[in-house]
Amino acid sequence: MRDFGISEGAPEVVAFFDARTFSVQYIAIDPATRRCAIIDPVLDYDEKSGQTDTHNADRILRYVRDHDLKVDWILDTHPHADHFSSARYLKEQLGAPTAIGDHVTEVQSLWSDFYNLKGFPADGSQWDKLFAEGETFKVGELDARVMFSPGHTLASITYVIGDAAFVHDTLFQPDFGTARADFPGGDSAQLWQSIQAILALPDETRLFTGHDYMPDGREPAWESTVAEQKRSNIHLSQAPDKASYCRLRDERDATLPMPKLILHALQVNIRGGRLPEPEDNGRRYLRIPLDVLKDANWG
C-alpha cells in the first residue's frame, strides 16, 4: 500500500477549463461508489456588459447527470479573485453541501470592510461546512483531508482526496511556477511554507492546479506530480530556499497588475457565490470601491 498520509485510493478526476478566466474546475469521483466532489466551479460573468450566466456550471451539471454521479460536496479552495464561484447555484441544483476553509472569516472581515457591507455576517455561515487544518472527510469511500495553505490568500486550502491534491493558486504547472502573494492578506513567506508542505506529500501524489496560463502558447494543462514539481518548477528551480523565493516572488508580484475581476468577484465570493440581493427596482448591483488597492501596478 502506498502511504499518502490518509489511505490509498485514486479518484477519477475530470477537468473543465474555462478559457475566459484560465480557470480549471474539477469533479473528483470515487470509482467504487460513483460519488464525487465538485471543486472550484465558475459562475460566468462578463464585466463589459454586467451579464452573468451558468454556462460553466451547467457543463458540470450535465456531466454529473449524464454519468449518474452523486455529489457529496461542492468545495471551494478559497474566495477567488479572478472569477465568481457557482457553488451556490450548484447547491440549488444538486442539494449537496458547500464547504471552504475556516479562515474564510478573515477574508470576509477584510473585504466586507473594503466594500462597506454594514451588518455583513463575517462568520462563514454562507457555507454549510468550514474545514479546519487537518480535518478529514469522505468522498464516497475515499478518504480526504484538508491542508491549510495560506500565502496566496489568508484562507487558501488544499484538498487531498486519495492520491490527488487540489492545490488551486499555490502551485501552477511547472513551466509557469507558483502563485502570486500580493493580494490583501497574501504573504510570500507563508506561500513558501505552504508549497513546502505540499511538496512533502509522496512524490507520486497527483497535483491539480486551479489555473493554467499556457506559456509559449501550449495547450492547457493542469495535472502534475509532486516529483515533477520538485524537479522542474521554474520558480522553485530559480529560488530553492525561502529567502531567495520570497525575493523572487515579491519582485515579480510588484510588476503584475491586479486581476481584472478582483473587485467584482470578492464581493460575490465572500458570500459563498451568492449575487447581491436585488434592489427596489429588481436589479442587482456590484460595489466597486475606489483606491482600495492603491499600490497595485496598473499594467
Q: What is the layout of strands, in order, in the sheet containing 70-75?
A: 12-18, 23-30, 35-39, 70-75, 98-101, 129-131
Residue 171 has pLDDT above 60, yes or no: yes
* Mean pLDDT, residues 56-60 taken together: 98
C-alpha pair distances (Å), 190 with each of 196, 224, 286: 10, 22, 31
- The domain 12-269 is classified under which CATH number: 3.40.50.2300, 3.30.930.10, 3.60.15.10, 3.30.1340.10? 3.60.15.10
Per-residue confidence (pLDDT) for residue 5, from 0 to 100: 39
Model-level pTM? 0.95
* Degrees to nearest 5, angle at CA 194 with 134 and 147: 15
* Mean pLDDT, residues 31-43 taken together: 98
Residue 8 has pLDDT above 80, yes or no: no
Per-residue confidence (pLDDT) for residue 74, from 0 to 100: 98
* Mean pLDDT, residues 89-117 taken together: 98
Per-residue confidence (pLDDT) for residue 299, from 0 to 100: 76
What's the CA gap between 99 and 84, in Å, rounded? 15
pLDDT > 90: what percent of the chain?
95
* Mean pLDDT, residues 174-182 taken together: 97
Residue 295 has pLDDT above 50, yes or no: yes
Residue 292 has pLDDT above 90, yes or no: yes
* Mean pLDDT, residues 89-116 taken together: 98
Confidence of residue 3 (pLDDT cuts 50, 70, 90): very low
Residue with cell 494543462: 221
